[in-house]
Amino acid sequence: MGAKNCPETPRQQMIGMMYLVLTAMLALNVSKDILEAFNVVDDTLAQSNVSVKEGIDFKYAALAKDTTAKAKTANEKATQLRQLTDDMVKYIEDSRLELIKYVDGEKKAMEQLNDPANNGRIPVAKIDGKDNFDKPTWFYLRQDENGNDISENNPNCRASVMRAKINEYKSAILALLPDSSNMEKERKKFVMDNLGLEVDKEYVRGNGDKGTESWEMHNFNHLICAGTVILLSKVIGEVRNAETLVLDELTKGIDANDFKFDAVTGRAIPKSQIVFSGSSYESDIIVAAFNSSADLEVYYKIGADTLTEDQLGSAEHLVGAGGIAKLQIPAGGVGDHKFAGLIKVKSPDGYKYYGFKDTYSVIAPSATVAADKMNVLYAGIPNPVSIGGSVDVKRLSVNFPGCTMKATGDGHYDVTVPASLIGKKVTATVTARDGNSSKAMGSAEFRVKKVPDPTSYLGANIWGGKRSKSELLANPFISARMGDDFAYDLKWTINSYRLTVISKGIEGAPKACSGGQFDGSVTAAINSASAGTVLVFSDIKATSIAGQRTLRDITIRIK
């Protein structure tokens, strides 16, 4: 802002306002990027918690169906474990919802909660006050469970109550485990060490502060709403992990001999359903839930949808060991193939037969290698390259002899070619894993070229010609960039240059300058130049990952 005796012109005021707006926009962009990361973490934790719960529910269901004495005892305690955990999770979820109501208002929060697209939860992305620091801190450290304001460090604050409930939950689920006299000490210690939900230890203070702080202060003091919501999701995940650990201990005494199976079925388990021509289809034939010490015979027929007992004479015969038979079918012509068979199992009542069937595809080896941006490789810079083929790209690998490769994703690489290969050709080869061996899939040849020189400019676009002094002083630096036909985003840095002033036909001594900015001597030379004076910017040195280059001169005549 200008002084009182030198007020700003309207133009200066406008420039100042634009600067403030730009600064605010930059700050907003940084904040938006950070908050977007919170959105991703919140969604990931939520999906992880759902997946863990689905796995636990499956275990509960399997245990409830078993009628053996051991399973019945374990199921009684598992039911208690499930109720304790569901109550604890609901308490944290309710606390999460109340926080969002406190930050965004109840009407806004309930609209989001009832939105079918949100699946019964309010994601961080839908919280208006996700970047609010003050309200979450006050909500957990300066309010009790009823929403009444209380003094600092009050043991009745929401955070302290949550800590107490977590400890109560841990004690309750540990009490469901067998007595220490009946449980191995090592197992007991393992459960205690891995249960998680540690809320009683002291934490080292952040921001360079000395000393320690409580779980409440460490997790809820001056944390934005988005971070607090994610923290609560993390606690829910730890609760589910604790539930899983205790449930595993409750069912540890139930082994395979304690379960009764009501169904037995045959399965063909292939190593791959896609086979290279000239290779073999391989599969394990097993009986699910069957004693591995029993005899096992397999009959199968290529091209069949089913195989019956009266067709065994025309079928291929295998003898299995350890309850598993190894099936290997030579890969024939390219295309889809099928087979079916019967597993012969000895039982107390004689022999029983269990059917199985499967399909597989035989393909011819093929692959492609393509430069992402053009049909050449430039030396000294990462060249994005993709590979693909007739099999899953995760099974493919590529080799560029003499080059450095960095994987950037499945089937995607950055290939850097050394300068020694400029003017030569590089042949890339692709192979695919086929069991324990590899198969050649194809190759491609690339020409290696030198990265072309960038073009030098004053400012962003002044290439030379007649220019006013004000135009030069408004662009007080030298830059370099690649031509529009160069497909890569290659950045160049100006290291040094020389300025020669030719006034009235007299050439002055060159001024050596470091970096790309105009220093004081260059600015003074421009200010003192009269019309017709020639300025020559020469010996311009620029560097990038492609190396150092000397760029073209820039000649300016002052108008």
Least confident of 64-73, 85-94, 271-280, 371-380: 271-280
Residue (of 390, 91, 63, 29) closest to 239 by Cα position = 91
pLDDT average, residue stretch 385-395: 77
C-alpha 475: how far from its chain's center?
42
Q: What is the DSSP string of 328-387?
A: EEE--SSEEEEEEEEEEEEETTEEEEEEEEEEEEEE---EEEEESS-SEEEBTS-EEEEE
CA distance 419 to 505: 43
Q: Given this model, what pLDDT does residue 368 score?
A: 57
pLDDT at residue 256 greater than cutoff 50 = no
Q: Given this model, what pLDDT does residue 500 score?
A: 96
Residue (of 336, 368, 401, 381) closest to 490 by Cα position = 381
CA distance 495 to 547: 12
Mean pLDDT of all residues in the chain? 81
Q: Given this model, what pLDDT does residue 182 score?
A: 53
Q: Given this model, what pLDDT does residue 237 score?
A: 87
CA distance 130 to 35: 8
> What phi-psi label fits residue 307: left (phi over 0), alpha (psi between -120 and 50 degrees) or beta?
beta
Q: Which CATH architecture has domain 367-449?
A: Sandwich (2.60)
pLDDT of 86-112, one tens digit each?
A: 999 999 999 999 999 999 999 999 998
> What phi-psi label fits residue 9: left (phi over 0), alpha (psi between -120 and 50 degrees) or beta?
beta
Q: Given this model, what pLDDT does residue 331 score?
A: 74
CA distance 456 to 542: 9
Contact 103, 132 (CB under 8 A): yes
pLDDT at residue 416 greater than cutoff 60 = yes
C-alpha 459: how far from its chain's center?
39
Contact 375, 345 (CB under 8 A): no
Instruction: Give the pLDDT band of residue 206 (cuts 50, 70, 90).
Output: low
CA distance 146 to 137: 16
Q: Given this model, what pLDDT does residue 264 score?
A: 55
Instruction: Give the pLDDT band of residue 54 (cuts 50, 70, 90).
Output: confident
Contact 389, 405 (CB under 8 A): no
Cα–Cα distances in angstroms (integers) from residue 356 to residues 270, 424, 459, in the given order: 12, 56, 74
Q: Given this model, what pLDDT does residue 367 score?
A: 57
Cα–Cα distances in angstroms (integers) from residue 337 to residues 238, 279, 354, 356, 540, in the given order: 47, 14, 21, 15, 67
Give the contacts of 223 (CB within 8 A, at least 6 positions apart). Answer: 133, 136, 137, 231
Contact 385, 415 (CB under 8 A): yes
More confident residue, 435 or 43: 43
**DSSP state letter for 293:** T
Residue 196 — φ and ψ, nearest 5°?
80, -155
Query: Which range has highest mean pLDDT (4-8, 163-167, 204-208, 261-265)?
Result: 163-167
Contact 449, 376 (CB under 8 A): yes
Which amino acid does the sequence have at 301?
K
pLDDT of 472-505, one tens digit each?
A: 999 999 999 998 888 888 999 999 999 999 998 8
The pair of structure tokens assigned to 514 is 């470091």
CA distance 340 to 299: 8
User: Are 266-362 and 367-449 in the same CATH fold?
Assistant: yes
Query: Which range has highest mean pLDDT (36-45, 51-60, 506-515)?
Result: 506-515
Q: Given this model, what pLDDT does residue 528 score?
A: 93
Instruction: Record the pTM.
Output: 0.44
Residue 46 — φ and ψ, nearest 5°?
-60, -45
pLDDT at residue 365 greater than cutoff 80 = no
pLDDT of 302-336, one tens digit each?
A: 889 999 988 988 999 888 776 677 888 887 776 67
pLDDT at residue 191 greater than cutoff 90 = no
Instruction: Give the pLDDT band of residue 208 (cuts 50, 70, 90).
Output: low
pLDDT average, residue stretch 57-82: 83
pLDDT at residue 32 greater than cutoff 60 = no
Residue 208 — φ and ψ, nearest 5°?
80, 0
Q: Which fold has domain 455-558?
A: Immunoglobulin-like (2.60.40)
Q: Given this model, what pLDDT does residue 516 score?
A: 94
The pair of structure tokens assigned to 335 is 């295309």
Q: Given this model, what pLDDT does residue 326 score?
A: 80
Long-range CB contacts (< 8 A, 24+ apart) of 464-467? 464/554, 464/555, 464/556, 465/556, 465/557, 466/556, 466/557, 466/558, 466/559, 467/556, 467/557, 467/558, 467/559
Q: Which fold has domain 266-362?
A: Immunoglobulin-like (2.60.40)
CA distance 543 to 533: 30
For the chain, give every domain's residue range.
34-255, 266-362, 367-449, 455-558
Instruction: Give the pLDDT band of residue 533 (cuts 50, 70, 90).
Output: very high
Instruction: Give the pLDDT band of residue 258 (cuts 50, 70, 90).
Output: very low
pLDDT average, residue stretch 387-415: 86
Q: Given this model, what pLDDT does residue 529 score?
A: 93
Residue (of 551, 443, 437) closest to 494 by Cα position = 551
pLDDT at residue 20 greater than cutoff 60 = no
Q: Given this model, what pLDDT does residue 6 score?
A: 45
Q: Given this model, what pLDDT does residue 3 score?
A: 43
pLDDT average, residue stretch 446-460: 93
Q: Given this model, what pLDDT does residue 234 score?
A: 87
Q: Give the end-to-end CA distance of the chain in Å, rounded to a whole number.
A: 33
Residue (of 176, 389, 361) closest to 276 by Cα position = 361
pLDDT at residue 24 greater than cutoff 50 = no
Instruction: Give the pLDDT band of residue 255 (cuts 50, 70, 90).
Output: very low
Q: Given this model, what pLDDT does residue 479 score?
A: 95
Contact 268, 176 (CB under 8 A): no
pLDDT at residue 260 greater than cutoff 80 = no
Query: Which range has highest mean pLDDT (207-221, 229-243, 308-322, 538-552)?
Result: 538-552
Residue (of 63, 89, 87) closest to 76 by Cα position = 63
pLDDT at residue 350 greater than cutoff 70 = no
pLDDT of 137-159, one tens digit each?
A: 999 999 999 999 999 889 999 99
Instruction: Give the pLDDT band of residue 540 (cuts 50, 70, 90).
Output: very high
Instruction: Give the pLDDT band of residue 11 (cuts 50, 70, 90).
Output: very low
Percentage of the chain modeled with pLDDT above 70: 77
Q: Given this model, what pLDDT does residue 93 score?
A: 94
Helices (H), 256-306: none
pLDDT of 266-293, one tens digit each?
A: 656 665 555 555 566 666 666 555 555 4
> Tokens 């600015």 map to which residue?
523
CA distance 102 to 500: 68
Beta-bridge partners for 352 = 345
CA distance 454 to 381: 14
